[in-house]
């Protein structure tokens, strides 16, 4: 979770006025359990305009409060916690997302970049598979 006074700071996020609608978006996002799409967020706070929701999501990403997951064909999903570099493990069955704090691929990235003369500037790693609870459940999908 994110602490209260950090939240106050986040609300300013490069804007010059702290507004009601943006406050609603931020409060909703930091209280969200698990990941969400932009549309799900919009639906949960219909009193806030879509434009504002999208604008705030961009700011929250820039501020490192949330991170954005591009899971294959689906719409991007957002997750709390993007302050420092990390990766994701996505369950292909239930869609849950597990944060991976340690990078573990830095050396490989540097090696490859050097080999091709690139100046590396970041990377993205996503691991797909079935999570523990989906393996356990073994429910049959008709």
By CB atoms closer than 10 A (0-12, 13-18, 19+), residue 142 is exposed
Q: Could you tell me the two tokens for 10?
A: 């986040």
Should residue 71 be labelled a site residue for Zn ion when binding is judged by CB under 5 A? no
Residue pair 88/126 in contact (Cβ under 8 Å)? The answer is: yes
Interacting residues with its own copies (CB under 8 A): 70, 72, 89, 91-92, 98, 100, 102, 104-105, 108-109, 111-113, 116-132, 135
- Strands 87-91 and 97-100, by their bridges, are antiparallel
Closest approach of Cβ 72 to Zn ion, in Å? 16
Closest approach of Cβ 129 to its own copies, in Å? 4
The size of the interface with Zn ion (CB under 5 A), counted in residues, is 1
Should residue 89 be labelled a site residue for Zn ion when binding is judged by CB under 5 A? no
By CB atoms closer than 10 A (0-12, 13-18, 19+), residue 141 is exposed
Site residues (CB under 5 A) for Mn ion?
67, 79, 99
**Site residues (vs Zn ion, CB under 5 A):** 103
């Amino acid at each position: 979770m994110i602490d209260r006074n950090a939240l106050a700071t986040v609300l300013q996020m490069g804007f010059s006025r702290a507004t009601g609608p943006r406050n609603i978006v931020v409060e909703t996002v930091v209280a969200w359990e698990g990941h969400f799409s932009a549309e799900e967020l919009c639906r949960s706070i219909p009193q806030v305009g879509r434009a504002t929701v999208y604008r705030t999501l961009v700011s929250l990403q820039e501020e490192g409060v949330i991170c954005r997951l591009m899971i294959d064909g689906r719409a991007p999903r957002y997750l709390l916690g993007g302050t420092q570099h990390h990766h994701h493990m996505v369950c292909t069955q239930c869609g849950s997302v597990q944060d991976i704090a340690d990078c573990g691929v830095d050396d490989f990235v540097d090696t490859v970049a050097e080999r091709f003369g690139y100046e590396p500037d970041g990377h993205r790693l996503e691991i797909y598979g079935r999570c523990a609870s989906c393996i356990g459940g073994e429910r049959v999908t008709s």
